[in-house]
Amino acid sequence: MKLFLKAERCNTDKCGIVRRSYPPGQHGQARIKHSEYSLQLREKQKIRRVYGVLERQFRGYFDRAARMKGVTGDNLLQILERRLDNVVQRMGFAGSKKEARQIVRHGHMLVNGKKVNIPSYLLKSGDVVELREKSRGIAHIQQTLASVEKRGFPSWLEVDKTQFRGKVLSLPARDESILPTVKEQLVVELYSK
């Protein structure tokens, strides 16, 4: 499955999954019967990879989502969507999660006027995220912003490209997640054992 980890490359014919959608090696094209545990683990690993979260941190997010009111799987995806590195990428300041993480770590982003260099910072409704004044001249960020028109922005974010800022209008809904085909219920079942 295409996880869009390589930014623009995943939208071209050079994407690895387009060229070869099976594992490498002599037995790569063999049919494999997956167990229930295998399917649950694959879903969890898929979500972890897309959002760039390590195992321990992901477990903490799951525990937090389980304590919240509502559906645990939806809460988990909502928490992951609200991470600062994810929001920076969704606003178009970076092409991939790794780029967004680096932009945040290097101190290029302001949240409500204060410098934040923690990629896992959770944003709330009403937070304003903007690029620092000194960082607005970075050519790579400007190129990425120019190419973001194709992708579009989620409805829970408001982006002003001329001011290099965006605002979190509301909490993200389940259908606005990056992975529309993910089965978060399998992750809940995995951790419920």
pLDDT digits (tens, 9 = 90+) for 83-132: 999 999 888 888 888 899 999 999 999 999 999 999 999 999 999 999 99
Decide if 83 contacts 51 (C-beta within 8 A): yes
pLDDT digit string, tens, across residues 16-46: 666 666 777 777 777 778 899 989 998 999 8
For the chain, what's the residue count? 193
What does pTM read for this prediction? 0.82
Distance CA 96, CA 89 (A): 6
Nearest to 176 by CA among 147, 160, 152: 152
pLDDT band at 146 (very low <50, low <70, confident <90, very high): confident
